[in-house]
Chain A
Amino acid sequence: MKLLQLDQIKYEIRQYGNEFLILKNDSCGAVCNSLIGKSILDKKLPFIKEVIASEEEILIALSETELIDLNALTGISVKANQESKQWTIPLLIDNNGDWSHIASRTGFNQDAYIQAFLQSKLTMQMAGFLPGFPYLKGLDKALYCPRKETPSISVRAGSIAVGGPYVGIYPVDSPGGWNVIGVTPLHIINADHIPPGFINPGDIIKFKLIDKPEYHVLKNKGLSLNDYNFS
């Protein structure tokens, strides 16, 4: 097992054929791995095709033609994150959500789950899954609910769902394996921009309950997450 130290964080390196490397560190967390991952990506090294950061891993997809040069990574230093933003996201409870699965796995009924959920202070961890989809963490452990046995074929855009320790928001209609609890009327994609979402790792998120009339008022305005919070 090779070891690599990047900005004082130690990674174990595993290589899978000529296809990809996994840099493993199970203590620094997704926000930290995202920052290191971004620094790796920004080096634009020829042997690196893709970088994907997550909770315990940074995956590097390898170029078919260039030789791996890990030494080129050793000088990496992480730029301090920009100031973290606070976001409020309106949430309409979905009575057709995955409440029976949630009840069977957590013991909470719909009302009790929502009450506890709204107390959570959530932090954006990493980008992933779909463009604009934020991985949020900070749920009380009692609210963790495993992903579904078989993912749904289609989860509608704006759905707010829980999967394991995470809360996420579906930016578009998509197949999905998480448990839907509600929906937001806001657009959460920032199309044609990099990154394609508004929320960045380290940002703080609070959900605010709205009712159906409020949902439709906001939906008809066609607001983005950014419009709703900062204009």
Chain B
Amino acid sequence: MITISVEILKPGIFSSIQDQGRDGLAFYAIPRGGASDLNSFHLANSLVGNDIHSPVIECVQMGLSLKFNGSCYFAICGSDFGWTLNSKSIPVNQLIHAEKHSVLACENSASMAKAYIAFGGSLKSSISYNSYATLPAYGWGGNQGKKLRKGDLLEIETESSKKLSTYPSLQFKIKPKSEIYFNPGPEWEVLDNAQKDLLFNKPFAITSESNRMGARLKGPALIHDIQLTYSVPVLPGFIQLLPSGQLIVVLEDGQTTGGYPRIGYLNRNQLNAFNQYLPNQSFRFVNR
């Protein structure tokens, strides 16, 4: 085992260390956290031969650039931000070997919203509540609870790696979906039939006023005058109806209770797909 480091040259918009998130702590209002697209996260870890729950770098809406101060394997899954290694284009969904001094960068075109960079070996970083999932508002999780910044060094314990002649890769492209399956939630019946029609017949998009706590949508206004008396439990994937008639999808770092009607929810797979939408990218809800 040897320890190498990677140095963040440009951090992108919001790059952070994430893992599977925290189980069993929602009772204490501690958000689950963790990778927004668990499928891409698991694939990236699988390609480098790690346990699929190992910590990775998650990039949101924009890639990052970093320098390898030692050789190691890595793989990128999720969004193709126009990734390059030493200025040469590299594919997503493939195991790649980086020599010492290599520079990973990107042109910042974006096919999807989230990319996951897994390094072969163990990424060493800080943990809170038994998870690397970074929660910057609290300073919890990886990288001392902060999003990645220029100059940050990440340590990776890896086996000394030799370049292989062929590389395992996934022979498919993950295509963004234009439809998301909607499941009726506990307060589904606050909508009348006309509003239910609008929900399934008009396009929606995530607005730029969104973050890892929640995605604010713009779409048809589902005007209503329902007020819940009490705050009720919510999970990542729950869809809340605001008094303004707009919707919020609760995400990984989101609250555990809220006072808005829960008209629907997305199951985990649908949430993975939803989390790959870029702001303003149009999609539809379909009734399952």
* A is bound by B: yes
A54 touches B257 (CB 8 A): yes
Closest to A195 in B: B28
- Does B280 make an interface contact (CB < 8 A)? no
Q: Identify which of A61, A127, A146, A175 contacts B28 (C-beta below 8 A).
A: A127
* Binary contact track B213-226/A, C-beta < 8 Å → 1, others 0: 11000000000000
CB <8 Å contact, B128 and A175:
no
* Complex interface bits, A35-57 against B, C-beta within 8 A gives 1, otherwise 0: 00110010010000111111111
Closest-by-CB residue of B relative to A24 is B186
A164 touches B186 (CB 8 A): no
Asked if B197 is an interface residue, CB under 8 A from chain A, the answer is: no
Chain A residues, CB < 8 A from B255: 128-130
Interface residues of B in 1-52 (CB under 8 A from A): 23-32
Are B230 and A54 in contact, with the CB atoms below 8 A?
yes
Interface residues of A in 124-169 (CB under 8 A from B): 126-133, 135, 146-151, 153, 163-166
Chain B neighbourhood of A49, CB < 8 A: 23-24
Query: Are the C-beta atoms of B242 and A151 separated by less than 8 Å?
Result: yes
Known: A17-B183, A131-B29. A149 touches B243 (CB 8 A): yes
Partner of B256, one of A57, A129, A148: A129
A16 interface residue (CB < 8 Å to B): yes
Chain A residue with the shortest CB-CB distance to B32: A50
- The prevalent SS among residues of B at the interface is loop
- Does A103 make an interface contact (CB < 8 A)? no
The interface of chain A, by Cβ under 8 A from chain B, is 14, 16-20, 22, 30, 37-38, 41, 44, 49-59, 61, 64, 126-133, 135, 146-151, 153, 163-166, 172-175, 177, 189, 191-192, 194-197
Binding site for A on B (CB under 8 A): 23-32, 128-129, 137-140, 183, 185-186, 209, 213-214, 227-235, 237, 242-244, 246, 255-260, 265, 267-268
Could you jot down 26 A-B contacts, CB within 8 Å?
A14-B186, A16-B183, A16-B185, A16-B265, A20-B235, A41-B24, A50-B25, A51-B24, A51-B27, A52-B233, A54-B233, A56-B230, A59-B233, A64-B268, A126-B257, A127-B256, A128-B255, A129-B257, A133-B29, A150-B244, A164-B231, A165-B229, A166-B231, A173-B137, A192-B129, A195-B28
4 interchain residue pairs of minimum CB distance: A128-B257, A52-B233, A59-B233, A55-B230
